[in-house]
Structure 1
Amino acid sequence: QVQKVMPNDSFYFSIVRDPATLGESSFSYFRAAAPAFRNSPSLDAFLAHPTLFYRPGIRGNHYARNLQWFDFGLPDDPKDPREIRESLEKLDRTFSLVLLAENFDESLVLLREALCWPEESVDTFAHNSRPHPKESRGVSSSQAERLRAWNRLDWELYSHLNRTFWRRAESFGIARLRREVRRLRERRESLARRCLRGGGPVPAKAIPDGRLRPFQPPGGGNILGFSVRAGLEPEERERCVRMATPELQYKDLLDRRQFGGKNDSKGG
């Protein structure tokens, strides 16, 4: 549908994530929205017997299985391997570039190069992170295996696009890519020191400006955000605030620029 209103030479790009880590994150973030997750006492309990909790077609349960396949609008639960292959080939024809969440900095470099942007155009702070205790090891190998099996279509999608991504990276030049990633991270660290109180992400309750507090999903994990340092010059403060603004509030900013109106995602 988007292609119907966009010019023929539009550049389409998206992003994918390993369904192992995405599945764990979704279980936390969408716990209140997905009945399949809400009715399960824990991630391990869900993975042990997912069909006890999951019912297709129930509102919100699209978050619980093959979420990326759903988001790309691909055919619902194809059984024929040929149909899966054709769906992936169609994605290749539609999207000029698909980023990898696990290699986000490398992805930003390739995106910048594809769009002929200057280096500083992809300087960013990472939003929507969660605090991880030092003793936490993330997803276990057993959980990862089960999450990929449960999200089989997402694993097919991710594996295919991962291979496509690294072929593009090799064409760009791996050594060149590493150099640009290093410069990107150096610029980010410098900006964090100049812009942010504490030099990095903090809990939402520690952010005095409500406009910069990230959305906290009901029943989900705590989402970190950024607090901007006081005493910055106006021009530098504007840049720092934009980089620290969560996606919902940034969407409202863009809406106001395009359509006018009030901010619908104000912090408390």
Structure 2
Amino acid sequence: MDRRSLMWLVFMVLVVTTAVYLVVMEDELVSLPPRILGSAGALVEGSSGATGEAMKPTKLCILNTDLVLIYIPASGAAVVQSILLRFGYLNDLFVTLPIRPGNPSIPQDLRSGDIRRQDVLQPPAVFSRELTRNILAHQVRYNRDALHKIVKKNAQYVTILRNPLDRFETDFVSSHLEMQFDVEQRPNPPALQRYLSAPEFWEKRRMRVNYRCTTNCMAEALGIPVRGRGMGVFPGLGPGGKAVIDYIDTLESEFALVLIYERLNQSLVLLKRHMCWTIRDILYDVGLKEPPANQRDVSDESKKLQFRRVNGADHLLYYHFYDIFRAKVAAEGEDFKREVRHYERVLDKVSRYCSSTVNDWKAANQTVVWESEWDEEFVVTRRMCWEIRRKRDDWDKLFRERYSSQSQGNN
């Protein structure tokens, strides 16, 4: 072989070797697991993490662990809250708790929205970094300036909205809101029906004891200034209506995600993708879902119109973010739809297994969720079932026990 042929052969070998190397490196990058939490919230590249094997992503993403949930009662927030608390506990994050055990909300100043240091549990020494609060999922009214004083400024803000009339019915029945009004109680017709027949009449007779929100409650939780203002029916809002519209536009820029209860499973898969979590992280107990809104006459349009008249801000808020949510889902493409269907099959499998194993100790000790294009294989155990079924007050106790133990261990 002459010298020119030898040089050409060497050159071709180098080209092929380089091409093979690049292909291998590309595969390594694509299959690289997302960053999983180590102890005390530290990020560890490529580790399996506290919740099991690492996720198998379809594309590279950055794990998010700092999140604030603005909790709105009867909107499906209990499902999201349980997911966040479980994620925080299993990944050894610091979750913000009120100083008083069992309190479902974080105390705030009624005017400024500020949260006093003495009203929230302080991180133990193991969380010595500045602003170490990773997750806030207890009830708190949205005020970004006030919340930035106790959570990281790069925290992701999320909330979940529900059709205003359905949300109100659930809250009215479960919280006995008829007790908020100076109206004679009688079984026939039920208090809910009487309220919806004349909501403005009832609202004028509000009692000031045991005060609880009954109008524009989603808007109020998100900090929209609606108290005492006439947020009228569409298309014309009452006084302050322009301010509400402007505020909603601000919320759109400040919230990472606004989930929709009527599209709960789509919402959770969207949350998973945004936070770079796994399907295992967004499993939930179907028993936490809101009861169906079926105790009113849904065919009576006049009642709907009257309700909308005193809840104009909530309707604006809900339909604004419902449209945004649909656009986000559409932008995810067909792959998102397939992942949602897969997630629903997994959720059904896990729910059936947990229902059987919790009540029957003769049932299998575990079940396997096989690998998919969106996730690695993982095992569901009895312990995991109990974790999925825990509610806020259960997690509250576990977090306090952990923080107390960590504090004692550093003394």
Q: TM-score range by the shorter chain?
A: 0.7 to 0.9
Match 2:338 to one of 179, 191, 199: 179
- 1:189 paired residue number: 348
Q: Give 2:384's aligned residue.
A: 239
Write the letter of the residue equivalent to 1:238: R
> Which residue of the other structure, out of 393, 408, 411, is the alignment partner of 1:248?
393
Counterparts of 2:153 and 2:338, CA distance in 1: 34
State the alpha-carbon separation in 2 of the partners of residues 132 and 9 from structure 1: 36
Distance 1:230 1:38, change over 3 A: farther
Tell me what 2:216 maps to: 66
Q: 1:140-163, CA deviations, whole angstroms, 9 ceiling, x for partnerless residues?
A: 132544433332211111111111
Q: TM-score, normalised to structure 2's length?
A: 0.50
Deviations 1:166-188 (A, max 9, x none): 12112222x22321111111111
Contact 1:20-1:139 at 8 Å conserved across structures: no
Structure 2 residue 325 is matched with structure 1 residue 165: yes
TM score, norm. by length of structure 1: 0.74
Question: C-alpha displacement at 1:63, in angstroms?
Answer: 2.8
2:279 to 97, 119, 122: 119
CA contact (8 A) 1:123 1:188 kept: yes
Counterpart-to-counterpart distance in 1, 2:184 and 2:402: 41
SS at 1:86 equivalent: helix
Aligned length: 230
Deviation sequence 1:48-104 (CA, Å, 0-9, x none): 222333246824444311111121122134523320111102211221101111110
Note if 1:43 corresponds to 2:192.
yes
Using the TM superposition, give the Cα deviation of residue 126 of structure 1 relative to its aligned residue in structure 2, in angstroms.
2.2
Contact 2:162 2:260 in 1 (8 A): yes
Structure 2 counterparts to residues 86-105 of structure 1, below 5 A: 86-105=246-265
Rounded Cα–Cα distance in structure 2 between residues aligned with 1:3 and 1:141: 45
Q: How far off its partner does 1:46 sit?
A: 0.7
Partner of 2:202: 53
Amino acid at match of 2:149: K
Gap change, CA 1:86 and 1:57, over 3 Å in 2: farther
Percent of aligned pairs with the same amino acid? 21
Amino acid at match of 1:189: D
Distance 2:157 2:279 in 1: 20
Q: Which residue type is aligned with residue 396 of structure 2?
A: K
Give me the whole-angstrom Cα distance separating, in 2, the residues matched to 1:117 and 1:23: 32
2:338 and 2:210 map into 1 onto residues whose CA distance is 42
Q: Is the 8 A contact 2:192 2:296 kept in 1?
A: no
> Relative to 1, partners in 2 of residues 1:88 and 1:59: Cα closer, same or farther, differing over 3 Å?
farther
Check 1:160–1:39 CA distance in 2 against 1; reply closer, same or farther (3 A cut). Answer: farther
Deviation >6 Å, runs of 4+:
130-133
Q: Residues 125-140 of structure 1: matches in 2 within 5 Å?
A: 125-129=285-289, 140=298
Q: Is the CA contact 1:34–1:63 (under 8 Å) kept in the aligned structure 2?
A: no
Letter in 2 for 1:50: P
| Larger of the two Rg values belongs to structure | 2
Unaligned runs of 5+ in 1: 200-226, 261-268
Task: Verify: 1:76 aligned to 2:226, yes or no.
Answer: yes
Over 3 Å counting, the alpha-carbon distance change for 1:132 and 1:159 in structure 2 is: closer
Give distance in 2, aligned partners of 1:93 and 1:14: 13
Distance 2:171 2:312 in 1: 16
RMSD across aligned positions (CA): 3.0
Deviation (angstroms), 1:29: 1.1
Partner of 1:14: 159
CA contact (8 A) 1:100 1:162 kept: yes
Aligned CA distance change for structure 1 residues 57 and 131 (closer, same or farther; 3 Å): closer
Q: Which of the pair is proportionally richer in helix?
A: 1
